[in-house]
């Protein structure tokens, strides 16, 4: 039998018999590697251990310690879950079940929605099936054979998926009596699924189309070993404790109402104060950086949205109305008004750059299934700005925004990552403009000295963008800040400036947000701080608490003094035990409790107590005001 030669990562070459597979290669290297192997990367592509080798192949064995292992483990575990569901509910129809960032999910068509009790049963069945050590076998069928097989199985969703594929053959995977359409690769057997947990149930439309049937989605997670799973589940419990929807209700910050409409936030006094603090902070920071504050209308004529390209490329996310027979679009973005401000007078190169900043409220039609507290809403306010500059100024303006992001994220204690998102399939503008815009963003990123990734095809329809993803206290990533470079809309709206040579030229427009949607950022902040906001950000900084009714006059005097000095203060003068009132203030996560007893009345002081129980020195109201102002001013 003829021989084949394959290359290994260390540069060595192995010679094997024709027809040898990946597992055979691993065994030829060592019995330990053969036992540890779960898959391989051959010529850059992940494959199963049963994949046949070819002469000249470049092969890297994948073990549980490899970076690729986690996704393979999770993908196979999703199949294990589907097998368990089919075993317990034979009439269930399976759809798709991919691995995702924190685990996996699988969508099912079942007559009765899943319950939490069902998850426990499914998980027990999964453990039973994992112990059965069923081999995962890859099958390759013609398209017609696969359709016939799934038709006989009654798996109509799989049939639809296959019919939409423009291929001659498809791959399937079999484990025991379960067969699934899949590209793979997978673990060698179900026994490799050792550490998993089903976490939640949700509804999901088939193929994300709200006109199609609502399916039942089960989310789960899986890890290579139980230690990693336990650590993740611990973080998950902490995330539940920090859930902004739970804390928002407990701290009386905001609410939603079916009577008002899904995805529309109602801000309560403390929540509105938190917003106001953030918005005032934003105005101050923008004015320091030479931005002009502007404000545009909520609705603009539909013709403007058609000219900008939003009507053709973003219409499904917009709301429209009619006034006096004229069609208007409710703004999903603020850029059009800012361009109209620019166009209101003749501009010279000496005027540029112009930086227009607006805390602009926008509305976007988000599907009901994706709405999620403050993190995904239909009406929200962006800290939106548009910089209009000459092409020569573009590099410094992008770098200025990157520096702005760095400053602000440092104030809130966020680490962050960056990625460059390039031209999507659905876009407007010339190839030349897209190339210039992409090079400008790329150059600024490279000069920043920070690592970044390329996210192919995920730019805005009018230009590429830098997406900044912050990491919170639980190491979760959130998309907030973005910087978009746009040569196209200035062309469509005929924006010009008079250059030094007297000729009219086109400015470049940079679209950017720092915090992004205020609602979303507040949701992230609530979870990041677990509701324990730093003093400068706390909607209530202190509460005056009496021991008995005898101290009410002095307590009221202290309250008025603090209030007049700008301290955000409340008072609790109820005829309740002091311990009860202190406990309630702690549950409200108020930074300082100012206890007023007979001694404090006599000395004209208060006894401050921090929310963690630490007692401070007795001080006068004026001294406390100075103390609070000093601490609040040190947020940088």
Give CA 75 to chain center in angstroms. 22
Give the active site residue among 158, 331, 423, 511: 511
What is d(CA 155, CA 147) in angstroms, rounded to the nearest whole number?
9
Give the active site residue among 182, 193, 335, 485: 335
Q: Where are the alpha helices (DSSP H) in 344-487?
A: 394-412, 431-448
Residues 6+ apart with CB under 8 A from 123: 84, 196, 197, 198
| b/e 339-367 (16+ beta carbons within 10 angstroms → b) | bebbeeeebebeebbbbbbbbbebbbebb
Q: Give the residue among 407, 375, 371 at the shortest CA–CA distance from 521.
A: 375
Give the active site residue among 382, 393, 570, 571: 382
Structure letter (DSSP) for residue 586: H
Q: C-alpha angle 290/294/297, rounded to 5°? A: 160
What is d(CA 312, CA 462) in angstroms, rounded to the nearest whole number?
12
The answer to whether residues 108 and 94 touch, using CB atoms and an 8 Å cutoff, is: yes
148 is catalytic: no
What is d(CA 476, CA 245) in angstroms, rounded to the nearest whole number?
17
Q: Rounded to the nearest 5°, which phi and psi values hold at 406?
A: -60, -45
The answer to whether residues 357 and 393 touch, using CB atoms and an 8 Å cutoff, is: no
By the 10 Å C-beta count (0-12 exposed, 13-18 middle, 19+ buried), 497 is classed as buried
What is d(CA 474, CA 155) in angstroms, rounded to the nearest whole number?
40
Give the active site residue among 383, 384, 472, 486: 384
504 is catalytic: no
Give the active site residue among 79, 364, 581, 609: 364
511 is catalytic: yes
Residues 6+ apart with CB under 8 A from 280: none
Element (H, E) at 559: helix 552-564
Q: Measured between alpha carbons, how far is residue 61 from residues 33, 36, 72, 73, 75 in Å?
A: 8, 9, 13, 15, 18
Place of tokens 């055979």: 24
Give the active site residue among 41, 74, 386, 469: 386
Give the active site residue among 465, 520, 554, 568: 465
79 is catalytic: no
Place of tokens 């601490």: 631
Question: Which parts of 23-96 are beta strand (E)?
Answer: 37-42, 45-47, 59-63, 93-94
365 is catalytic: no
Q: Coil, strand or helix: which one is 505?
A: strand
For 94-99, the CB contacts below 8 A with 24+ separation are: 94/155, 94/157, 94/158, 94/180, 95/157, 95/158, 95/206, 95/215, 96/157, 96/161, 97/180, 99/71, 99/72, 99/74, 99/75
485 is catalytic: no
599 is catalytic: no
Q: Give the residue among 389, 453, 450, 388 at the shortest CA–CA distance from 420.
A: 453
Q: In this structure, how many other beta carbons lie within 10 angstroms of the beta carbon of residue 587?
A: 12
Task: Give catalytic residue positions.
Answer: 335, 364, 382, 384, 386, 465, 511
């Amino acid at each position: 039998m003829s021989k084949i030669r394959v290359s290994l990562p260390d540069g060595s070459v192995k010679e094997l018999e024709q027809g040898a597979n990946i597992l055979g290669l691993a065994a030829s290297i060592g019995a330990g590697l053969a036992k540890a192997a779960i898959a391989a990367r051959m010529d850059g592509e992940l494959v199963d251990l049963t994949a046949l080798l070819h002469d000249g192949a470049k092969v890297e064995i994948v073990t549980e310690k490899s970076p690729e292992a986690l996704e393979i483990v999770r993908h196979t575990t999703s199949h294990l879950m589907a097998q368990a569901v089919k075993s317990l509910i034979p009439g269930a129809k399976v759809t798709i079940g991919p691995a995702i960032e924190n685990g996996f999910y699988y969508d099912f068509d079942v007559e009765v929605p899943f319950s939490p009790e069902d998850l426990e049963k499914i998980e027990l069945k999964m453990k039973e099936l994992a112990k059965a050590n069923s081999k995962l076998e890859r099958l390759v069928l013609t398209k017609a054979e696969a359709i016939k097989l799934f038709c006989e199985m009654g798996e109509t969703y799989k049939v639809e998926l296959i019919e939409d594929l423009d291929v001659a053959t498809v791959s399937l995977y079999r484990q025991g009596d379960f067969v699934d359409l899949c590209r793979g690769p997978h673990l060698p057997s179900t026994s490799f699924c050792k550490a998993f947990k089903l976490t939640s149930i949700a509804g999901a439309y088939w193929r994300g189309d709200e006109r199609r049937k609502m399916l039942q989605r089960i989310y789960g997670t899986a890890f290579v070993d139980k230690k990693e799973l336990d650590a993740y589940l611990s973080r998950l419990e902490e995330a539940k404790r920090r859930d902004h929807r739970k804390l928002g209700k407990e701290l009386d910050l905001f609410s939603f109402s079916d009577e008002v409409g899904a995805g529309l936030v109602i801000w309560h006094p403390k929540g509105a104060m938190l917003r106001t603090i953030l918005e005032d902070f934003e105005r101050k920071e923008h004015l320091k950086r030479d931005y002009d504050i502007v404000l545009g209308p909520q609705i603009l004529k539909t013709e403007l949205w058609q000219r900008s390209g939003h009507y053709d490329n973003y219409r499904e996310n917009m709301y429209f109305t009619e006034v006096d027979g004229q069609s208007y679009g409710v703004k999903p973005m603020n850029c059009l008004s800012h361009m109209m401000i620019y166009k209101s007078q003749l501009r010279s190169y000496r005027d540029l750059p112009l930086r227009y900043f607006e805390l602009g409220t926008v509305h976007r039609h988000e599907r009901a299934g994706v709405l999620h507290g403050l993190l995904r809403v239909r009406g929200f306010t962006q800290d939106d700005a548009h910089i209009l500059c000459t092409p020569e100024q573009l590099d410094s303006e992008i770098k200025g925004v990157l520096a702005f992001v760095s400053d602000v994220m440092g104030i809130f204690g966020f680490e962050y990552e960056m990625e460059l998102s390039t031209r999507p399939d659905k876009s407007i503008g010339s190839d030349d403009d897209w190339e210039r815009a992409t090079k400008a963003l790329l150059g600024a990123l490279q000069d920043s000295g920070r690592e970044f990734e390329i996210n192919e095809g995920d730019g805005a329809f009018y230009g590429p963008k830098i997406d900044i993803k912050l990491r919170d206290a639980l190491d979760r990533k959130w998309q907030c800040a973005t910087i978009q470079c746009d040569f196209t809309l200035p062309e469509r709206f005929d924006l010009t400036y008079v250059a030094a040579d007297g000729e009219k030229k086109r400015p470049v427009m940079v679209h950017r947000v720092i915090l992004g949607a205020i609602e979303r950022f507040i949701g992230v902040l609530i979870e990041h701080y677990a509701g324990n906001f730093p003093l400068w950000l706390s909607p209530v900084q202190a509460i005056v608490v009496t021991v008995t009714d005898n101290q009410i006059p002095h307590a009221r005097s202290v309250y008025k003094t603090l209030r007049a000095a700008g301290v955000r203060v409340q008072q609790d003068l109820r005829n309740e035990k002091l311990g009860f009132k202190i406990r309630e203030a702690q549950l409200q996560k108020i930074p300082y409790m100012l206890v007023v007893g007979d001694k404090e009345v006599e000395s004209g002081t208060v006894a401050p107590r921090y929310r963690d129980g630490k007692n401070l020195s007795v001080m006068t109201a004026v001294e406390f005001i100075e103390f609070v102002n000093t601490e609040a001013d040190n947020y940088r």
